[in-house]
Amino acid sequence: MDPSIGKGPVTNNATHPEAIGRGGLSHSALEAMLVDPGTLHGHVIPGLLFMFFGLFWTYSILHKYHVARRGAILLGKGSYKSSTKNTLFSTYYACHCTNVSLDAYFMLTCTSLGFIGEFIAVFIGGEFVVANTHHMCMYFFYGLAAFIHILMCYKHPIPVNSDYAAMIVAFIVEALLFQGHIDGRGPINAKIHMLLVYTCMVTAGFLVLEMAARRNVLVSLGRASSFLVQGQWFCTGGFILYPPSFMPTWDDNSRPQMALVTTLFAVNIALAIIGTLMMDYFIVLRVNCMDAHTISRILNKSDMRSHNSLPNIDPGKPLISDSDGEC
């Protein structure tokens, strides 16, 4: 999230000297197509991506949890508390031959495009721009985590939880990069980036906990919600630092506005929690309408992801096996 005015009102960077120095007003058509992180859409687009993954994973975790819980009730077999084993990416059994993590492929595609765009932007203005290398590092490490997970899906000899470890490293790198963005910035700009640093570290903490407790649904929901909060704050920070013409600018020297930034961050957290509760309510309504046959079919497909065969549910066997979800 850069650059922004270090002092005075937080204004749109269209007339900012750094933007001109970076070629922000260049007539190059190619440059106009690139997503500059120092613009409103440069914040909204990655923010929407984080929100997508947060919402998608929240739905996947809650759906898996309530299906296993419903199965324990209808089928009378096993305990739903020990039946759900969460994964970093969601997997789908396709073509009766392999596991497919659609969200992992989507993340790898988006990060690859972002990395290429930043690489082009480094040289397109005729000079080397260090700020773009920060974003290249971010895209690389997130893409690396998705790539490692895809390799695990295809049964490459990679240690268990390597995808979690790579994602933890990605968030630590992002936190370090955002920490570097704080130097020389105005108070509001610095606070926005510092809150992003806190969010990154909290997400890394949830990932560590989930790696150790894959059956704890609250920890997995915390990880997904952290992604959602980070996406929301990307968008919120973009509108604060680079407000559209119809929105007022923020004053770096205003103490009330500084306090309002923290309030907005708390509001984003509250919205993420409320959204999760609403999603949980509708998932419960949907799952409760399923009969025993439908629940059994869903649970059998979950086992197929690990065994490439359709097993029969055994009374002494967990509804979702221990080996399920390594991909």
What is the SS3 string spanning 16-63? CHHHHHCCCCCCCHHHHHCCCCCCHHHHHHHHHHHHHHHHHHHHHHHH
For 29-52, what is each residue's pLDDT tens digit? 444 434 455 677 778 888 999 999
CA 74, 76, 78, 82 dihedral sign is: positive
Higher pLDDT, 275 or 124: 275
Q: Is the pLDDT of residue 22 over 70?
A: no
Q: Is the pLDDT of residue 275 over 60?
A: yes
Q: Is the pLDDT of residue 100 over 90?
A: no
Q: Is the pLDDT of residue 104 over 80?
A: yes
Q: Which of 23-27, 59-63, 118-122, 132-136 is predicted most confidently?
A: 59-63
Higher pLDDT, 311 or 294: 294
User: What distance in Å separates the CA atoms of residue 226 and residue 221, rounded to the nearest whole number?
Assistant: 8
Domain boundaries, the chain: 35-307
Give SS3 for 10: strand
Q: Distance of alpha carbon 275 from its chain centroid, rounded?
A: 16
For 206-258, what is each residue's pLDDT tens digit? 999 999 988 889 999 999 999 999 999 999 998 998 888 888 888 888 888 88
Q: Is the pLDDT of residue 2 over 60?
A: no
Instruction: Output the pLDDT for position 127.
Output: 65
Give SS3 for 238: helix
For 150-208, what is each residue's pLDDT tens digit? 998 888 888 989 999 999 999 999 999 888 777 777 888 889 999 999 999 999 999 99
Instruction: Output the pLDDT for position 64.
Output: 87
Query: Which amino acid would we find at residue 167?
Result: M
CA distances in angstroms from 46 to 50, 97, 165, 228, 236, listed in the order given: 6, 33, 22, 11, 12
